[in-house]
Amino acid sequence: MAIQEVHVEPRPLDAFQTVQVSISPEWTKPRSNGNSAPRIWHINSTAVGGGVAEMLPSLIGYGRTLDVDMRWLVLNGTADFFAVTKRLHHALHGSTGDGRELGRDERGIYQRALEPVAAALESHLGAGDAVMLHDPQTAGLAPTLVDAGHPVVWRCHIGHDATNSQVEQGWRFLQPYLDGVNSYVFSRPAYVPEMLSPDRAVIVPPSIDPGSPKNEELDAETIRTVLVQAGLIAGRRQAKGVTVRTRNGNERRILRQAKVIAEDELPSWETPLAIQVSRWDPLKDFAGVMRGFVSLAASGEVPRNARLMLVGPQVDGVSDDPEAAEVFAEVEREWRALPREIRAQIYLVQLPTADVVENATVVNALQRHAAVVIQKSLHEGFGLTVTEAMWKARPVLASCVGGIQDQITHGVDGLLLPDPRDTGAFAAALHSLLDDPARAGGLGEQARQTVADRFLTLRHLYQYTELFSSLRVSPAA
């Protein structure tokens, strides 16, 4: 199938009351205005893995509760198509990626892969339906949708604060598809390229859902049970799995075990963990995180006998990320070259992705258990793993790049690394957080308040519905 619908049920707003965050009354008013309200279709390239797939179920679910008829379609592409779009992903981050060009051949691959997708859309979209296309994978659908008379918004979740030859090459590739769309949405102003019409650009920061399996409240015993069953800390697993109950009464089933590469036994419940949870992407710099920790371990200066855990999805579990296996293999090779006594302090983890809720519950428990959460990205569009950890009142050590710098105020609600490639500075900052739990806890508490004030789903949904309302009134020329 060229495209598939992902069905999302309405979500009650109870989660926002349970966590007692202040919500603007404007955000929770029903948005329907009778028969004139269109359906809004979100289209992206994967239902599992990455920030877009994390956000859409919540945006759509709460939207449907508030009388906004939102739907979700996922396109299916070829391996060559996803290699080209991954190259585009790197280019818009200012990176060369695999080094391939973005020329005529790549454009041909891109367009041919989207032709059956564009044709399949006819069976889903009705007259007057609006569409939000997400990221480079979907941009090539815009001309067909515009020609059919649909209001179209292109949502770009990535970008680079500065312009270089790679950024320019990426935007040259995409621009022909985007000239006719009604509006563009970016996560921060610096990402808006000069070649796109600035009067059609709207800034909408991403968000997290406090009621989702990834972010709902878990007590300490539930966290421990989940991590033991997932094979991430020492303890007795149940062969038939376990069912845990979250604080708001949801039951979550944990059956599958993570694939853990380790030299010795799993860490105990009492062992402090520094973790990074991300896709296996070279821009996330897992190897750099490991090198920084190794520099502490080699000098015998890891406070509190802490351990490092590098965590990502199973390498074949995200359909639109062809680099995952290669990136993981490179990290594993570097890990295996370390002295045994240092390897024993580092764990490489692949989480199962067959069950989205199970995967999210395990990540939730792991982030809540962590002594420090790291996000040492070389480039980052926004960084929802940062938002998630901040919401859980964890001290976050992250690079001062992209949208991360919009979330963290250094020394107030986390620590920022001015240069993500400075291994010594990273190691020193990590040492300071592990060595001073009281300070780390204070940063974490303020971090949760920052997210409550600025980065929750209802604000995000309100901005989207306001945008589509404005397009219906006076669509862009």
Pick from 387, 385, 397: which is nearest to 439 by CA? 397
Is residue 441 located within the same domain as residue 465? no
Is residue 434 located within the same domain as residue 467? no
The one-letter amino acid code at 54 reads E
Inside any domain, residue 8? yes
Is residue 22 within 8 Å of residue 451, measured between CB atoms?
no
Query: pLDDT 10s per residue in the chain (477 long)?
Result: 899 999 999 999 988 887 878 778 887 776 654 445 579 999 999 998 889 999 999 999 999 999 999 999 999 999 999 999 999 999 999 999 888 889 999 999 999 999 999 999 989 999 989 999 999 999 999 999 999 999 999 999 999 999 999 999 999 999 999 999 999 999 999 999 999 999 999 999 999 999 999 999 999 999 999 999 999 999 999 999 999 999 889 999 999 999 999 998 999 999 999 999 999 999 999 999 999 999 999 999 999 999 999 999 999 876 667 889 999 999 999 999 999 999 999 999 999 999 999 999 999 999 999 999 999 999 999 999 999 999 999 999 999 999 999 999 999 999 999 999 999 999 999 999 999 999 999 999 999 999 999 999 999 999 999 999 888 633 332
Q: Rounded distance, CA 182 to CA 145, Å? A: 11
Is residue 179 located within the same domain as residue 293? no
Inside any domain, residue 252? no
pLDDT in tens, 9-54: 999 998 888 787 877 888 777 665 444 557 999 999 999 888 999 9
Which conformational region is residue 307 in: left (phi greater than 0), alpha (psi within -120 to 50 degrees), or beta?
Answer: beta
Maximum distance among all Cα pairs of the chain, rounded to whole angstroms: 68
pLDDT value at position 22? 73
Inside any domain, residue 62? yes
Is residue 257 within 8 Å of residue 374, measured between CB atoms?
no
Pick from 150, 157, 156, 211: which is nearest to 180 by CA? 150
Q: What is the 3-state secondary structure (H, E, C) of the chain?
A: CCEEECCCCCCCCHHHHHCCCCCCHHHHCCCCCHHHCCCEEEEECCCCCCHHHHHHHHHHHHHHHCCCCEEEEEECCCHHHHHHHHHHHHHHCCCCCCCCCCCHHHHHHHHHHHHHHHHHHHHCCCCCCEEEEECHHHHCCHHHHHHCCCCEEEEECCCCCCCCHHHHHHHHHHHHHHCCCCEEEECCHHHCCCCCCHHHEEECCCCECCCCCCCCCCCHHHHHHHHHHCCCCCCCCCCCCEEEECCCCCEEEECCCCEEECCCCCCCCCCCEEEEECCCCHHHCHHHHHHHHHHHHHCCCCHHHCEEEEEEECCCCCCCCCCHHHHHHHHHHHHHCCCHHHHCCEEEEEECCCCHHHHHHHHHHHHHHCCEEEECCCCCCCCHHHHHHHHCCCCEEEECCCCHHHHCCCCCCCEEECCCCCHHHHHHHHHHHHHCHHHHHHHHHHHHHHHHHHCEHHHHHHHHHHHHHHHHHCCCC
Please report how many Cα atoms fall inside a 13 Å half-sphere around the Cα of residue 94, on the Cβ side.
14
pLDDT in tens, 322-358: 889 999 999 999 999 999 999 999 999 999 999 999 9
Is residue 461 located within the same domain as residue 405? no
Inside any domain, residue 243? no
pTM over 0.85: yes
We report the CATH number of the domain holding residue 331 as 3.40.50.2000
- At residue 468, φ and ψ (nearest 5 deg) are -70, -30
Is residue 232 within 8 Å of residue 269, measured between CB atoms?
no
Is residue 160 located within the same domain as residue 135? yes
Inside any domain, residue 235? no
Q: Rounded distance, CA 144 to CA 335, Å? A: 48
C-alpha distances in Å from residue 53, one per residue of 138, 164, 380 = 14, 29, 17
The one-letter amino acid code at 329 reads A
User: Where in the sequence is the domain holding 100, given as residue range(s)?
Assistant: 3-209+456-473
Is residue 156 located within the same domain as residue 287? no
Inside any domain, residue 36? yes
Inside any domain, residue 227? no
Pick from 287, 323, 276: which is nearest to 96 by CA? 323
Q: Rounded distance, CA 406 to CA 384, Å? A: 12
Is residue 189 located within the same domain as residue 311? no
Q: Look at the chain and report how many structural domains it folds into.
A: 2
The β-bridge relationship of strands 259-261 and 346-351 is antiparallel
- 169: burial class by Cβ within 10 Å (0-12, 13-18, 19+)? middle
Inside any domain, residue 20? yes
Residue 341 CA, distance from chain mean position? 33
- At residue 375, φ and ψ (nearest 5 deg) are -145, 80
pLDDT value at position 472? 60
Q: Rounded distance, CA 299 to CA 36, Å? A: 67
- At residue 469, φ and ψ (nearest 5 deg) are -65, -40
- At residue 444, φ and ψ (nearest 5 deg) are -65, -40
The β-bridge relationship of strands 372-375 and 396-399 is parallel
What is the residue whose two structure tokens read 């990590």?
430
Is residue 179 located within the same domain as residue 285? no
Is residue 293 located within the same domain as residue 406? yes
Q: Rounded distance, CA 46 to CA 159, Å? A: 19
Is residue 419 located within the same domain as residue 464? no
Is residue 159 located within the same domain as residue 305? no
State the virtual CA torsion across 457, 82, 107, 139 in degrees, nearest 10: -10
Is residue 73 located within the same domain as residue 179? yes
